[in-house]
């Protein structure tokens, strides 16, 4: 199915109503890949799936963002390994994805070819850094590695005594659920404990096929979380976000993070103000099971790390008591 993906402007124009000449200019800087499965989810121009997948000339008009706003390269002791936090490292083991999301935080690198020497250098650095207790496989998408290569990589990591936990960040259960085969699940199950964070942004992505993929992973004992990105025209609406979070819980995926979009060059048209994000979070609390309310996170520019943002429930502070607002807007005195 990946071999049938749309990767050129002329191909895209055969499937959706776009000007191939204008699109060609975009994909020269920001490559396109839309596999047939995700292409089938698009219902009309400008719908939430279209916005995530189809290149837009406005990507080239964004001058406010930067290629690497989180300074990941500066936090990389070797290429492909990001060591921002003391006890964990992000290991970029692939530069390829089943679909190139137009809002990607790593637009600067997705679409290249994974290099074995880079992976070897990353493994060596992890082995020589005993503070690293957790390794997060990311990319690109680590499930773009074939099963045998993924098994060898997991085996190498598991042989490092100070690594206690492995996380996989993959959008494949959403964008190409066909990848979640019995053999892949068998490989992952062999290297437990493994946690898998996937990435759904809209309830329209929760299909019979993607639901089955997530259930298959959950049945194998692999805990699933979702890292949703707040995107203009996709999910910047409380009703849509509630439907998404309820849908995720139904397929045994726990909402984990709601990410404020990183200021990456070429993604400005997806930006949602933080104030809007806080309003959406306010609309989730009390109207959704606590398990379904994600943490609203901003990744600070300059490599400052992720910080949670929450609505302000403390209305006033008095000696001996605080006034606190509940989800209905009612005020209560709480003794402190």
Q: How far apart are the first and last CA of the chain?
A: 60
Q: What's the Cα-to-Cα distance from 168 to each of 91, 221, 240, rounded to whole Å?
A: 10, 14, 26
Q: What's the Cα-to-Cα distance from 5 to each of 32, 88, 108, rounded to whole Å?
A: 9, 34, 21
Nearest to 259 by CA among 193, 200, 321: 200
104 catalytic residue (yes or no): yes
Question: Catalytic pick from 33, 56, 96, 101?
Answer: 101
85 catalytic residue (yes or no): yes
Question: Catalytic pick from 95, 141, 282, 299?
Answer: 299
106 catalytic residue (yes or no): yes
Question: Catalytic pick from 51, 95, 97, 214?
Answer: 97
Residue 226 in marked binding region: no
d(CA 321, CA 79): 52
Q: What's the Cα-to-Cα distance from 9 to each of 13, 24, 60, 106, 174, rounded to whole Å?
A: 6, 5, 15, 21, 24
Contact criterion met (CB below 8 Å) for 256 and 294: yes
84 catalytic residue (yes or no): yes
d(CA 317, CA 162): 45
Question: Catalytic pick from 38, 51, 56, 88?
Answer: 88
226 catalytic residue (yes or no): no
242 catalytic residue (yes or no): no
Residue 174 in marked binding region: no
174 catalytic residue (yes or no): no
189 catalytic residue (yes or no): no
Do the bridges between strand 331-335 and strand 321-325 make them parallel or antiparallel, or are there none, so unpaired? antiparallel
71 catalytic residue (yes or no): no
Question: Catalytic pick from 33, 51, 104, 296?
Answer: 104
97 catalytic residue (yes or no): yes
Q: What are the residue numbers of the active site?
A: 84-85, 88, 97, 101, 104, 106, 262, 299, 306
User: Which residue numbers belong to the known binding site for [4Fe-4S] cluster?
Assistant: 97, 101, 104
User: Which residue numbers belong to the known binding site?
Assistant: 97, 101, 104
């Amino acid at each position: 199915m990946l071999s049938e993906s749309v990767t050129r402007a002329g191909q895209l124009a055969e499937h959706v109503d776009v000007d191939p000449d204008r699109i060609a200019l975009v994909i020269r800087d920001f490559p396109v890949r839309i596999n047939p499965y995700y292409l089938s989810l698009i219902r009309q121009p400008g719908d939430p799936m279209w916005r995530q997948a189809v290149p837009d000339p406005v990507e080239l008009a964004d001058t406010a963002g930067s290629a690497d706003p989180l300074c990941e390269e500066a936090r990389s002791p070797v290429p492909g390994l990001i060591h921002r936090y003391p006890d964990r490292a992000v290991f970029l083991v692939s530069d390829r994805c089943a679909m190139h999301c137009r809002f990607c935080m790593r637009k600067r690198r997705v679409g290249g070819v994974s290099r074995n020497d880079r992976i070897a250098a990353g493994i060596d650095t992890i082995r020589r850094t005993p503070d690293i207790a957790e390794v997060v496989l990311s990319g690109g998408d680590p499930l773009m590695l074939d099963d045998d290569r993924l098994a060898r990589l997991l085996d190498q990591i598991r042989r490092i005594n100070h690594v206690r936990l492995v996380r996989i960040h993959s959008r494949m259960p959403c964008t190409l659920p066909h990848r979640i085969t019995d053999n892949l699940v068998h490989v992952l199950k062999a290297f437990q404990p493994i946690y898998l964070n996937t990435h759904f942004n809209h309830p329209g992505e929760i299909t019979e096929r993607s639901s089955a993929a997530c259930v298959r992973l959950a049945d194998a004992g692999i805990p699933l979380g979702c890292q949703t990105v707040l995107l203009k025209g996709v999910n910047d609406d409380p009703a849509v976000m509630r439907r998404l979070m309820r849908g995720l819980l139904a397929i045994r995926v726990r909402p984990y993070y709601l990410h404020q979009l990183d200021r990456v060059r070429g993604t400005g048209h997806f930006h949602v103000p933080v104030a809007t994000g806080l309003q959406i979070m306010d609309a989730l609390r009390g109207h959704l099971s606590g398990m379904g309310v994600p943490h609203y996170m901003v990744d600070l520019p300059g490599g400052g790390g992720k910080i949670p943002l929450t609505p302000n429930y403390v209305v006033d502070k008095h000696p001996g008591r605080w006034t606190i607002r509940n989800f209905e807007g009612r005020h209560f005195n709480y003794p402190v």
